[in-house]
Amino acid sequence: MQTTIKTQLINQFTALFANANATRLFFAPGRVNLIGEHTDYNGGNVFPCALDIGTYALVRARTDKLCRFYSINFPQQGVIEFDLDNLEFNSQHNWSNYPKGVMTEFIKAGAALTHGFEIIFFGNIPNGAGLSSSASIEVLMGTILNSYFGCNFDPIKIALLGQAAENNYIGVGCGIMDQFASAMGQANHAILLDCNTLNYSYAPLNIAGYKLVIANTNKQRGLADSKYNERLAQCRQALAILQQKLAIKALGEINLAQLEQQANLFSDPLIYQRARHAVSENQRTLAAVAALKANDLIEFGKLMQASHVSLRDDYAVTGIELDSLVSAAWEQAGCIGARMTGAGFGGCTVNLVAEAQVADFIQQVAQKYQQRTGLSAEFYVVNPSAGAHEITNS
């Protein structure tokens, strides 16, 4: 933990809430998904890892039911105040609707929230860039509530309550991937998660000689405003069509050959393409994890590339910025895999780059991307890290 962040949080807390006595510090990470995109809400597999960047909170319990929340990232919003007896969604409460949604879901799950809090939040993850800034604040709030109120929920339950907040309170029909990765991450490992059963296993990210490089298009996108819910609806439509012939509950249950056999059921080619992405991406994810386990990073990279092509052509969630950033990466020596990551429609790409060529990669890709789009990309070299936790020393 960077002491500068802790100092910043303490200084801000002291300035707003008189002193920082009896405070506790918590952290929940963002995530990057290596492969398995738009498969989670289709009951398929995903392969994300938690990052070493995310959201921090310096917390103090109050004796009454008032909550006073402040984010260093949104100073213009000031201190947002609400009462635990009135947790209704309030658009004026802006970003703090995320923690409020989690509080609401904890109450629904039987937790007794007997007192409010003073909290300073700070995220060192870019907002709205597809690295799960919202899941990290949800899992962070869940981890805080679980600890203060002795709920004894395990991290998977905390992830599920975070997802429920996003689905029911914020109104985005997201799957479980982001909250799961934020709650369950492990250093140097990615998580293979079957979103149908929630069975999971950790895979060591043995990429010696290579680095994970995230590139941010710096094209802002709001998940809630985006076409995310539309894709979800299209996949549900595809599933309903297939259910006329197949006894399945999710697209993740079939393979590409099984889908192709039913192609004539689809009168709208667009709906078929959406299903083809969900099904083929699920297969690619399992193949990629097998390649990683066999130390075949070149194959892993090829599958990342195929994933991007499918997200571009069948799922239509990329756009000029992501496509330009990914194609510039593909052209670059030392880059063995590159694809968009997260929901799409802007946000970030994830790249597997030979360690010795990272500096060159960043310089060249930045230049080409600038030429093609007029935008400046940002780059982060990241390491898979632990899930949400309280920071007790340093």
Residues 6+ apart with CB under 8 A from 177: 31, 33, 36, 40, 46, 48, 193, 195
Does residue 321 interact with ligand GLA by CB under 6 A?
Answer: no
A 10 A CB-CB count for 320 gives 13
Please say which residue, 54 or 116, places its beta carbon nearer to ligand GLA: 54
Please say which residue, 174 or 353, places its beta carbon nearer to ligand GLA: 174
DSSP secondary structure, 235-260, as one string: HHHHHHHHTTT---SSGGGS-HHHHH
Radius of gyration of the chain (CA): 21
Q: In what order do the strands lie in the sheet with 189-194?
A: 45-46, 189-194, 200-204
Name the one range near ligand GLA by CB under 6 A: 106-114, 170-178, 266-274, 360-368: 170-178
User: Nearest Cα to 46, choosing from 154, 165, 203?
Assistant: 203
Active site annotation includes 323? no
Please say which residue, 41 or 56, places its beta carbon nearer to ligand GLA: 41
User: Nearest Cα to 71, choosing from 125, 30, 3?
Assistant: 125
Residue 228 CA to its chain's centroid (Å): 14
Does residue 38 interact with ligand GLA by CB under 6 A?
Answer: yes
User: Nearest Cα to 337, choosing from 312, 356, 309?
Assistant: 309
Residues from 41 through 70 that contact ligand GLA (CB under 6 A): 41
Nearest-approach distance from CB 279 to ligand GLA, in angstroms: 14
Which residue type is seen at 129? A
And the tokens for 328?
Answer: 């510039």
Does residue 174 interact with ligand GLA by CB under 6 A?
Answer: yes
Cβ atoms of 145 and 67 within 8 Å: the answer is no
And the tokens for 393?
Answer: 């020393």
Nearest-approach distance from CB 343 to ligand GLA, in angstroms: 4
β-strands 348-354, 24-33 pairing: unpaired
Residues from 329 through 388 that contact ligand GLA (CB under 6 A): 342-343
Residues from 225 through 254 that contact ligand GLA (CB under 6 A): none
Does residue 102 interact with ligand GLA by CB under 6 A?
Answer: no
Site string for ligand GLA, 123-162 (x = CB under 6 A): ----------------------------------------
Nearest-approach distance from CB 382 to ligand GLA, in angstroms: 16
Q: Which of 178, 194, 314, 323 is catalytic?
A: 178
Cβ atoms of 23 and 14 within 8 Å: the answer is no
Q: State the Cα–Cα distance between residues 101 and 134, nearest whole angstrom.
A: 11
Nearest-approach distance from CB 266 to ligand GLA, in angstroms: 22
Nearest-approach distance from CB 312 to ligand GLA, in angstroms: 14
> For 74-113, b where at least 16 C-beta lie within 10 A, e where not — what string?
eeeeeebebebeebeeeeebebbbbbbbbbbbbeeeebeb
Nearest-approach distance from CB 329 to ligand GLA, in angstroms: 19
Q: State the Cα–Cα distance between residues 90 and 94, nearest whole angstrom.
A: 7
Does residue 322 interact with ligand GLA by CB under 6 A?
Answer: no
Name the one range near ligand GLA by CB under 6 A: 37-45, 110-118, 208-216, 253-261: 37-45
Residues from 177 through 206 that contact ligand GLA (CB under 6 A): 177-178
Please say which residue, 23 or 285, places its beta carbon nearer to ligand GLA: 285
Nearest-approach distance from CB 11 to ligand GLA, in angstroms: 33
Please say which residue, 1 or 198, places its beta carbon nearer to ligand GLA: 198
Residues 6+ apart with CB under 8 A from 213: 350, 351, 352, 353, 358, 361, 362, 379, 380, 381, 382
Please say which residue, 37 or 314, places its beta carbon nearer to ligand GLA: 37
Nearest-approach distance from CB 178 to ligand GLA, in angstroms: 4
What phi-psi label fits residue 313: left (phi over 0), alpha (psi between -120 and 50 degrees) or beta? alpha
Does residue 101 interact with ligand GLA by CB under 6 A?
Answer: no
Name the one range near ligand GLA by CB under 6 A: 3-11, 32-40, 235-243, 260-268: 32-40
Binding residue (CB under 6 A) for ligand GLA from 23, 34, 37, 105 = 37
Active site residues: 178
- Chain contacts with ligand GLA (rule: CB under 6 A): 33, 37-38, 40-41, 174-175, 177-178, 342-343
